[in-house]
Amino acid sequence: MIHFEWTVRRSIIALGTSPNVDIRAKLDGCHGCKAYKNLWKEKVFPNVNQRLPNVVKDWDGLLKAFSLRHRLVHEISSCGLTCTTERVNWAIDACQNIRELCIAYKVNLDARLPIRRRVRS
């Protein structure tokens, strides 16, 4: 899930419509699928015309992976190897889906991100 959050956060900055500093400020309080989905809708959708649940091909699987992450981190429950493997694969696949969109827009998430500055009046 750490890799997913790193990927989605960088993609929101790279594909977003606002200055980087504004997006980073919004990302400071952004955690969880719903928050990322809403921020994507606000900042990225105007550029790519795709919502995050459409980019991530198995959105329901990603939601289950996030749920497991929450349960494990807060020691609410545990999970067997089969359950864990399936959810890890959903998170990895979600990262790949986002990377594919970034590649289509000529964005390399592993390189320096494009910089959009505030317009001075």
Mean pLDDT, residues 5-15 taken together? 97
Whether the per-residue pLDDT at 50 is higher than 70: the answer is yes
What pLDDT does 118 receive? Answer: 84
What pLDDT does 72 receive? Answer: 58
The band of 1, judged by pLDDT with boundaries at 50, 70 and 90, is: confident
The CA-based angle 4-8-12, given to 5 degrees, is: 170
CA distance 65 to 16: 25
Mean pLDDT, residues 49-70 taken together? 90
The CA-based angle 95-99-104, given to 5 degrees, is: 155
Q: Which two structure tokens, joined as six digits, stand for 44? A: 């990225």
CA distance 11 to 47: 12
pLDDT in tens, 62-119: 998 888 766 555 565 667 666 678 888 999 999 999 999 999 999 999 999 989 888 7
Of 94, 40, 99, 29, the residue nearest 66 (C-alpha)? 94
pLDDT in tens, 18-34: 999 999 999 998 988 99
